[in-house]
Structure 1
Amino acid sequence: MIDRGLQLMTRNPVEASVMLALGMALALMLCSGCGGSAGEITGRVMLDGRPLNGAIIKFKPKGNPEAKEVTAEVNGGSFTIPSGRIAPGDYYVMVVSQQPGAGAIIDGVQRGEGIPAPKAFVPKVYEKKGTLSAKISADGSNNLMFQLKTGEF
């Protein structure tokens, strides 16, 4: 088999170069996912000093609009992103939470029997890209803390 490969290289160097380039491209594509993710990400989200419950935390990569957003549920003030779901780097962080309650009545439902529309529980400013940020490292020490305040904005 090795002799045949050597014969191919000496007989047609252009074909051998093309095969080598294709092989290297394939190897790069296969290895592009190797080692490119951080370990488990854990964190806390506090609102006015109390653990936030029933929220979604979103991580959007900075400087890469094509990259996927990673989300996790926040319950009891804690969230976890399993190992391999997020790559190391800088991220915009957004927190979204709604609670049923004193909002307007949902359209199409009779007064007195309606379900209240969800009311924003976290200030809207935390839903915007750029208010919060995080740096995810490859070394595995990713324990994040976000302190949100209702009267700050």
Structure 2
Amino acid sequence: MPVVRRNFQIQTAVLIVALSLAAIGCGGSSARDLPKLGQVTGTVTLDGQPLADAVVSFQSKDAGRVASGATDAAGNYTIYLLNDIEGAPVGTNQVMIVTAKPGDDAIPGSAKPEVLPAKYNAESELSADVQPGDNQFDFELTSA
């Protein structure tokens, strides 16, 4: 067998194996990889006013997964486990609410500092027991 043809066959075999592995790796999470989820929505207020542009995160104590969502201008949020999978893991979740945003190095002063007390984020005292189906968790925060 000529060397050129043999090299082509080896390259073709390597390409097929590489493409097969890539296809397996790009499959994303399948339904069997996901924990049981409950749909989670709610509203966040600070001192009685809607809290806009906050990130609400649910960290499952059992599943070890984090699901999150952002509040809108009215303080409403919906939680997503992944970009297109709505819900948080069923069971007890620690809840963290953050308003800080990292800055853009190209835009001086673009960082947004945290306005919430640590008891709502870094040292969160918030929790939620997510059940299968629809869940609503409203958080009435205070700045003190």
The structure 1 residue matched to 2:140, chosen from 140, 147, 153, is 147
Q: Structure 1 pair 31/72, CA: closer, same or farther in 2 (3 Å)?
A: closer
| 1:64-83 map, 5 Å | 64=63, 67-75=64-72, 76-81=74-79
Are residues 1:58 and 2:57 paired? yes
Q: Which runs of 5+ in 2 are unaligned?
A: 1-29
Asked whether the 8 Å contact 2:99–2:115 carries over to 1, the reply is yes
Which residue number in structure 1 is paired with residue 19 of structure 2? none
SS at match of 1:115: coil
Structural RMSD (CA)? 3.3
The structure 2 residue matched to 1:87, chosen from 86, 89, 102, is 89
Asked whether the 8 Å contact 2:70–2:77 carries over to 1, the reply is yes
Which residue number in structure 2 is paired with residue 4 of structure 1? none
SS at match of 1:119: coil
SS at match of 1:125: helix
Shift of 1:81: 2.2
Shift of 1:52: 0.4
Which residue number in structure 1 is paired with residue 43 of structure 2? 44
| 1:3-152 map, 5 Å | 36-38=36-38, 40-64=39-63, 67-75=64-72, 76-81=74-79, 84-98=86-100, 114-115=108-109, 117-138=111-132, 140-151=133-144
Work out the CA distance in 1 between the residues paired with 2:113 and 2:35: 41
Work out the CA distance in 1 between the residues paired with 2:99 and 2:35: 33
Q: Structure 1 pair 34/95, CA: closer, same or farther in 2 (3 Å)?
A: closer
Work out the CA distance in 1 between the residues paired with 2:70 and 2:61: 21
Shift of 1:35: 8.6
Aligned length: 109
Look at both structures and tell me which one has the larger radius of gyration over its CA atoms: 1
Asked whether the 8 Å contact 1:123–1:150 carries over to 2, the reply is yes
Work out the CA distance in 1 between the residues paired with 2:76 and 2:134: 16
Shift of 1:119: 2.0
SS at match of 1:98: coil
Q: Which runs of 5+ in 1 are unaligned?
A: 1-29, 101-105
Give the partner amino acid of 2:120: Y
